[in-house]
Amino acid sequence: MRVVVQRVGSARVLVAGELIATIGRGLLLLVGFAPGDGERELAWMARKLAGLRIFPDAAGQMNAALADVGGAVLAVPNFTLLGDCRKGRRPSFDGALAPDAAQPLFARFVDVLTGHVAGPVAAGRFGATMQVELVNDGPVTLVIET
């Protein structure tokens, strides 16, 4: 499981021009799954994200977590995170979990995440072509893998 985490002032997802999800201050997550990912990885990642201290505290230091700032989460499925670009010019996606297995895993991840974070959790649409808009705060961008 690979997640690109971006600290945002706001973020939203559109599909065919329709707004399907939006958040204010919080985390935008681009989420990709690999074969073998399951409940253990989902729970570990949800705990990690909920406790990740990447927001500024009163002194301006990155020492506050999502709950400390009343932040929200927007999770967006993104199989291209598992793309391998080492050979040739076209990425290979052999390392990504097949869509029929990844779709329920993404839905389950959103549920698990909802149980770990205090604020709202929104999600993109699996399998859709999405336009993701964000105001990156910092910028702060991390890649977390299980």
User: Domain ranges in the chain?
Assistant: 2-145
Is 122 in contact with 21 (CB distance < 8 Å)?
yes
Predicted confidence pLDDT, tens digits, the chain (146 residues): 999 999 999 999 999 999 999 999 999 999 999 999 999 999 999 999 999 999 999 999 999 999 999 999 999 999 999 999 999 999 999 999 999 999 999 999 999 999 999 999 999 999 999 999 999 999 999 999 99
Please tell me the distance from the alpha carbon of residue 105 to that of residue 99, in angstroms, as a whole number: 10
User: What local confidence, expressed as pLDDT, does residue 59 receive?
Assistant: 96
Matching residue, tokens 């929104």: 122
CATH number of the domain located at residue range(s) 2-145 in this protein? 3.50.80.10
Please give the model's pTM, rounded to 2 decimal places.
Answer: 0.96
Helix axes 99-116, 39-51, angle to 10 degrees: 40
User: What local confidence, expressed as pLDDT, does residue 97 receive?
Assistant: 97
Nearest to 56 by CA among 66, 41, 48: 66
